[in-house]
Amino acid sequence: MTVGYIRVSTDTQVTSNQKNEILNYAHVLHVKVDKFIDVTMSSRKNMRDRLMDALFTSLSLGDTLIISELSRLGRSTQEVLQTIEKLMKIGIELHIIKQKMVINPNNRNDFVSKAMLTLMSLFSELERDLISQRTVEALKARKEQGVILGKPKGSIQKSKYDIYRDRVVELHNMGLSLNKIVSKHLEPAMGKGNCSVASLSVYLKRRGL
């Protein structure tokens, strides 16, 4: 049996995208997806464990599981690896679309020497995906609670030029061009390439100087 695994999100578009990715992938392989398993992930660890256990019990030896990307298997690298290990013990062939991986439990040597090395190289990408996903979910939750996101209107972002502000204004008022201020005063202090006439000009305009 071929199963498509979807980690359900409150964003229906994201959920729909996962299903479409899996169906398109199966079509290319000329494989029919017999059913989809939807799991709504909870922020509570014990609930997540129960939900994942329900996924494992619905699969049998010889089944094929297709997911859209590696990060769908857990909220951290450790959780992802634990999930993969459990799937291997059951005897599930795992297809991961985004990372273009197929993990076959019948070829343990290949899994250890090849897939694990691939996983190691994907750890940094995976962690960034997970952090980004959690950030988006947190921001969405705050927005739904009525929290106004973003910086207050009229606020000014800190700049690398702030510590040189008084000196720059003094030199500029003395008649020095921005080009000379950058080349003779800022570059020796900040390093060449870390400042420019264009960025300094924008800084002065935004500060009303």
Active-site residue list? 9
Torsion-angle region of residue 31: left (phi > 0), alpha (psi -120 to 50) or beta? beta
Angle at 84 between CA 100 and CA 61, to 5 degrees: 100
- Could you please report the per-residue DSSP string of 192-205? TTS--HHHHHHHHH
Number of H helices, E strands in the chain: 9, 5
Contact 165, 207 (CB under 8 A): yes
Q: How far apart are CA 123 and CA 120, in angstroms?
A: 5
Cα 93 from chain centre: 25
H or E, element range at 103: strand 101-103
The two tokens of residue 109 are 């040597």
The two tokens of residue 11 are 């964003």
Query: Residue type for 159, please?
Result: S
